[in-house]
Chains A and B, each alone.
Chain A
């Protein structure tokens, strides 16, 4: 299947079909604001512990500082990532990945695919891994990472993570120069819609809000609330007094960590965090994700007996 797709959604659908056929559970996006697909608990938390895992999903991602009011050809404050996580990383993961590029219409016979060193590190997740950015004809189309540590825990077995920046990849495959001009559904559909039809107004509104309007005092307060709540959740006894079962609550706590992380991103976009404070905030978020990771490995999904 190397015929060229015609729309943004067709590329997403082909990736879903491809990875479903390779045995991944096709999950839905996590219902919270996150900066990248990695934050989805299906990646961060599921990369911990010994249980095997294979999942793929689209994750809407928000980076308030990247907002450009919908004017920049390829910068957005809200965009989509396609994320694949397989544990343990299979020996043919590179080939599987290349197959996914073929599935979305990139003909390996005509293009130059390169694996260029790019070590991944997420200071807020306390995570790092080794891998590459994958280049197609000089353009970065994906991140390919073997997780070594998440939330301060060594990954054993190691997960292989693939992240596709969907808009950029699709623009390349579809030959579009400005993201807002990209066909979202089929151009011959009765009601053809472009990416701009769907998202231009949202980009404008969120850019204005993120940069100039968001109430920084409220955001700071929310940040502190989320931070407190996260720690409070995990301070409860692991045995639920009502049911008498061990119920650790790593996931609700992690939701609070995600919230804190996004609030930090918003504060950063508002320009109220100085260079020195920045490190301190990142450290506070990392402390939360570490707490959650510590809790998760004590749960069944985290591999606890």
Chain B
């Protein structure tokens, strides 16, 4: 069983593409080999800045012979059909066999494919792999037409077994496969030949190339940690940076340098960002957390132990940090004056061409933060103040230079401006949570502004019909929706979202359509606050205006036509995200649907409490059986109602009860109704469910003993009305009709 080794040697491959490229090489080549009838024992792929390599062990030396029989037309069939069959099967007319199938004589074609040598197959597969390689971006070079990520220089392709290694004959666009490669660009540039994967890896290491990316990363990480430790310091770990740096070097040499005193007053995050973004340096901090040194990773050894390289890097860093310090000092001047210059500048920054400037965004966020504040335990004045400062840092020089520091710089500058701590923290935290694993803020002011930021974003893009579709979500609205959900649930917040969605949608629509007067908007928003959902508020306001004989602007009609729909559409978008979120926690979609169908479903915490209680209830024996009983009652009732064309909601009377079981059910329903009502009042869904569970035995016994469709019309009607009571009482807890199974 031979082993296959392939190396594609090129100019420097971008670090971020290497890992996926190695995986793609492995997938494409091994898939191709297997499809052509070869098998293999194991495969591994590797990448360095200048090479992609693939080792396939235990490859079969040739593909097996294949034999296929195909049944064709009957003897005597039209000549055209027979010719067509021969063409399709690729056999000559004379080679057709005639067999008696018992239903007459039929032509058969026997197609025999002899096995092929592995080398021949490899050459084909490699050609296809190179030509169809899924680089994120690829290019042509020189006068050729081949595309690769950067110019491709040589290809090593050998099959080796006990007898030695053989070059696989292969050529593409003027590059002929060989058994040789090169070492490190500067330290060992000469070509050398290899006979196997082991030989390849060993010789590469001798030629100052560490083939495996994880080995390079480990070397960097352990050497950097050791150097930091020896100086009594800690390396700030950064897995993303480590992977990138490991993709920039073939022979990592770790060098630790110092940061000039002048810059130690900068916030550590600024030092880290500047060093990482521009120089790809790691940060090293002291025991107090201050960043005091850096680690750079060179791609070579030098006879002065890297001193020249380190000195050069320090010099570059000095210039970089001088810039950062310049930004920081300019920013501090504006911050200590309260940051007004930044807020003014937001007037000139477009948030979205239909949704206005960032200053307008801030204004909407401030109003909403104020409204949300009381419900999340925050002081409304502080929430508004926090929202108004939250985007100030977007105008700062530091954030212009390092966009990733947005929010964090806001916190520093708010502190510098003498704003309360809660306001400063909100400046940083109002963006959170940024994803499913990001921490959710808990400080009330931060929560208020974080909710306002996300609801404003959602309503804004809903107002202009920029909803996510399929895989497209350019404004990260799904993430915003999940953020709202997590903020509410993880902080145990009771709030009705409808009201805020409506209020904000109106503000957004007004911006977009610029058709309502400021007073009209203010009044409308007030109404929404008082009356909740938009439709009710709209009617109330319209009535108030028409009785006061105020003229209604045209804009009002336009709003009325669109806002209620958008509002419910956005709420169901939130519900969809909630379903995904709960499904990940093991709550099935029908349980959520049963809870969603209940009133007040814009109160996400209540909704989830109900769904959790229902899911737990369904796990119990009583729960499962009760659902069956409920469904039986509901089915019989629904059928009867359809047939009779009436609704049996007159109330059942116990005096028409005919059996003990029937009377027992009356008593049980009376008790359950009381208990469920009390439990629902207390929003104790578990208690409501167990009150419902108490109905299981009486319902089962009732169905056991009683025939619903009896001959006495009075009894039948009473029993159907009794079923109706079962339905009503159960549906008060959750819409059990939505449950599956």
Contacts of B142 in A (CB 8 A): 88-91, 157-158
B311-319, B521-529, B621-629, B718-726: which lies at the interface? B311-319
| A contact residues around B317 at 8 Å (CB) | 138
Given contacts A112-B299, A137-B313, contact A119 B137 (CB under 8 A): yes
Contact indicator B309/A112 (Cβ below 8 Å)? yes
Contact of B137 among A90, A112, A130, A156 (CB under 8 A): A130
A residues near B349, Cβ cutoff 8 Å: 275
B226 at the interface (CB under 8 A from A): no
Which among B149, B153, B313 is the interface contact of A91 at CB below 8 angstroms?
Answer: B153
Question: Are A158 and B303 in touch, CB under 8 angstroms?
Answer: no
**Contact, CB under 8 Å: A74 / B137:** no
Q: Out of B151, B153, B249, B313, name the residue touching A138 (CB < 8 Å).
A: B313
Query: Within 8 Å of chain A (Cβ to Cβ): is B635?
Result: no
Among A137, A138, A156, the one with the most B-chain Cβ atoms within 10 Å of its Cβ is A138
Contacts of A90 in B (CB 8 A): 142
Contact partner, B11, options A111, A112, A115, A139, Cβ 8 Å: A115
In this complex, what residue of A is CB-closest to B145?
A: A156
C-alpha gap A148/B139 in the complex (Å):
7
Q: Are A139 and B316 in contact (CB under 8 A)?
A: yes
Q: Nearest chain B CB to A5's CB is how many angstroms away? A: 17
Contacts A146-B151, A156-B143 given; 4 further ones with Cβ under 8 A? A89-B141, A90-B142, A148-B139, A157-B144
0 or 1 for each of B313-336: is its CB under 8 Å from A? (1 = yes):
101110100100000000000000
- CB pair A111–B140 under 8 Å, yes or no, is no
**CB within 8 Å of B: which A245-277 residues:** 274-276
Task: Report B438 CB to chain A, min CB distance, Å.
Answer: 28
A111 touches B150 (CB 8 A): no
- The answer to whether B139 and A88 have CB atoms under 8 Å apart is no
Residue of B15, B138, B141, B313 with highest tally of chain A CB at under 10 A? B141
| Contact A113-B313, Cβ < 8 Å, known A138-B279, A158-B140 | no
Q: How far is the CB of A231 from chain B (nearest CB, A)?
A: 29
Q: Which of A108, A116, A131, A276 contacts B248 (CB 8 A)?
A: A116
Q: Give the docked Cα–Cα distance between A146 and B142 (Å).
A: 9
A113 with B16: CB separation less than 8 A: no
Question: With A130-B137, A146-B141, A158-B140 known to touch, is A115 a contact of B12 (CB < 8 Å)?
Answer: yes
**In the complex, which residue of chain B has the Cβ closest to the Cβ of A129?**
B139
Instruction: For B353, give the chain A residue with the smallest CB separation.
Output: A276
Contact between chains at A110 and B11 (CB < 8 Å): no
Q: Is A30 an interface residue (CB 8 A)?
A: no
A108 and B186 in contact (CB under 8 A), knowing A117-B14, A130-B150, A139-B312?
yes
CB-CB under 8 A for A113 and B186, given A137-B313, A138-B317, A276-B350: yes
A114, B248: Cβ atoms under 8 Å? yes
Residues of B within 8 A of A74 (CB): 319
A116 to B13 alpha-carbon distance, docked (Å): 9
What residues make up the interface of A, taking CB atoms closer than 8 Å to B? 73-74, 88-91, 94, 108-117, 119, 129-132, 136-139, 146, 148, 155-158, 160, 172, 274-276
Chain A nearest CB from B433 CB (Å) reads 30
Inter-chain contacts of A129 with B (CB < 8 A): 139
The reply to whether the CB of B302 lies closer than 8 angstroms to some CB of chain A is yes
Whether B298 is near chain A, meaning CB under 8 Å from some CB there, is yes
- In the complex, the answer to whether B308 meets A157 with C-beta atoms within 8 Å is no
- Chain B residues contacting A275 (CB-CB under 8 Å) are 348-350
Chain A residues with CB under 8 Å of B308's CB are 110-111, 137
Q: Which residues of B contact A111 (CB under 8 A)?
A: 302, 308-309, 312
Considering only CB atoms, which chain B residue lies closest to A137 in the complex?
Answer: B312
Q: List 16 A-B contacts (CB under 8 A).
A: A73-B322, A88-B143, A89-B142, A89-B151, A109-B186, A109-B303, A112-B299, A112-B309, A112-B312, A113-B299, A115-B12, A117-B15, A117-B16, A130-B149, A158-B142, A172-B312
Tell whether, in the assembled complex, residue A138 and residue B312 are in contact, meaning their CB atoms are under 8 Å apart. yes
Residues of B within 8 A of A73 (CB): 319, 322
Q: Residues of B contacting A139 with CB < 8 Å?
A: 312, 315-316
Instruction: List the A side residues contacting B149 at CB < 8 Å.
Output: 130
Residue on A nearest B153 in the bound complex, by CB? A91
Complex interface: chain B residues within 8 A of A117 (CB): 12, 14-16
* Closest chain B residue to A145, Cβ basis: B139
Residue among B12, B249, B302 making CB contact with A109, cutoff 8 Å: B302
B304 at the interface (CB under 8 A from A): yes
Residue from the list A110, A115, A119, A172 in contact with B304, Cβ < 8 A: A110
Please determine whether A112 and B300 come into contact, CB atoms closer than 8 angstroms: yes
Q: For residue A180, give the distance in angstroms from its CB to the closest CB of chain B.
A: 15
Name B12's closest neighbour in chain A (CB-CB).
A115
Decide if B313 touches A110 in the complex (CB within 8 Å).
no
Q: Which residues of A contact B309 (CB under 8 A)?
A: 110-112, 137
Q: Does B296 contact A (CB under 8 A)?
A: yes
Which residue in chain B gives the minimum CB-CB distance to A168? B319
Whether A94 lies near B11 (C-beta < 8 A) is yes
Inter-chain contact A138/B316, CB cutoff 8 Å: yes
B311 proximity list for chain A (CB < 8 A)? 137
For the complex, give the distance between the alpha carbons of A129 and B141 in Å: 10
Separation of A90 and B151 alpha carbons in the complex (Å): 10
Residue-wise interface mask of B (283-317) relative to A, using a CB-CB cutoff of 8 A (1 in contact, 0 not)? 00000000000001011101110001101110111
Please name all residues of chain A whose beta carbon is closer than 8 Å to the beta carbon of B298 when the two chains form the complex. 112
Which residues in A have their C-beta under 8 angstroms from that of B249?
114
A38 to B350, CA, bound (A): 32
CB distance from B260 to the nearest CB of A (A): 13
Q: Which of B137, B142, B313 has the most CB of A within 10 A?
A: B142
Of B140, B153, B186, B281, the residue contacting A148 (CB under 8 A) is: B140
| A158-B308 Cα distance, complex, nearest whole Å | 36
In residues 130-185 of chain B, which contact A (Cβ within 8 Å)?
A: 137-144, 149-151, 153
B225 CB to nearest A CB, Å: 21
Q: Chain B residues with Cβ under 8 A from A116's Cβ?
A: 12, 248
CB of A203, distance to nearest CB on chain B (Å): 18
For A110, the chain B residues whose CB sits under 8 A away are: 302-304, 308-309
Within 8 A of A (CB), among B1-45: 11-12, 14-16
Tell me the complex Cα distance, A172–B144, Å. Answer: 37
Q: A-B pairs with the 7 shortest C-beta distances?
A: A137-B312, A117-B14, A115-B12, A157-B143, A138-B313, A112-B298, A88-B143
The distance in angstroms between the C-alpha atoms of A73 and B509, with both chains bound, is 50
Interchain CA distance A172-B316 in the complex, whole Å: 9
Which residues of chain A are within 8 angstroms of B138 by Cβ–Cβ distance? Answer: 130
CA distance A18 to B141 in the complex (A): 23
The interface residues of chain B lying within 8 Å CB-to-CB of A114 are: 248-249, 299
- Measured between alpha carbons, how far is A146 from B152 in the docked complex, in Å? 13
CB neighbours of A146 from chain B (8 A): 139-141, 150-151
Contacts of A137 in B (CB 8 A): 308-309, 311-313, 316
CB distance from A153 to the nearest CB of B (A): 13
Most chain B CB atoms below 10 A, which of A111, A115, A148, A156: A115
A contact residues around B302 at 8 Å (CB):
109-111
User: A132 and B319: CB pair below 8 A?
Assistant: no
- Complex interface residues of chain B between 551 and 600 (CB less than 8 A to chain A): none
Q: Which of B281, B296, B312, B353 has the most CB of A within 10 A?
A: B312
Contacts of B299 in A (CB 8 A): 112-114
Q: Quick one: closest B residue to A136, CB to CB?
A: B312
Q: Which residues of chain B are within 8 angstroms of A112 by Cβ–Cβ distance?
A: 298-300, 309, 312
CA distance A111 to B296 in the complex (A): 13
Chain A contacts of B16 at CB under 8 A? 117
- B327-361 residues at the A interface, CB under 8 angstroms: 348-350, 353
Which residues of the other chain, B, contact A172 by a CB distance below 8 angstroms? Answer: 312, 315
CB distance from B720 to the nearest CB of A (A): 68
**Contact indicator per residue, chain B 241-254, by CB within 8 Å of chain A (1) or not (0):** 00000001100000
Q: Which residue of A lies closest to B326 (CB)?
A: A72
What CA separation (Å) do A276 and B143 show in the bound complex? 40
Q: Count chain B CB atoms within 10 A of each CB in A116, A130, A158 and give the residue with the most.
A: A130
**Chain B residues, Cβ within 8 Å of A130:** 137-139, 149-150
Across the two chains, which residue of chain B brings its CB closest to A157? B143
- B186-216 contacts to A (CB < 8 Å): 186
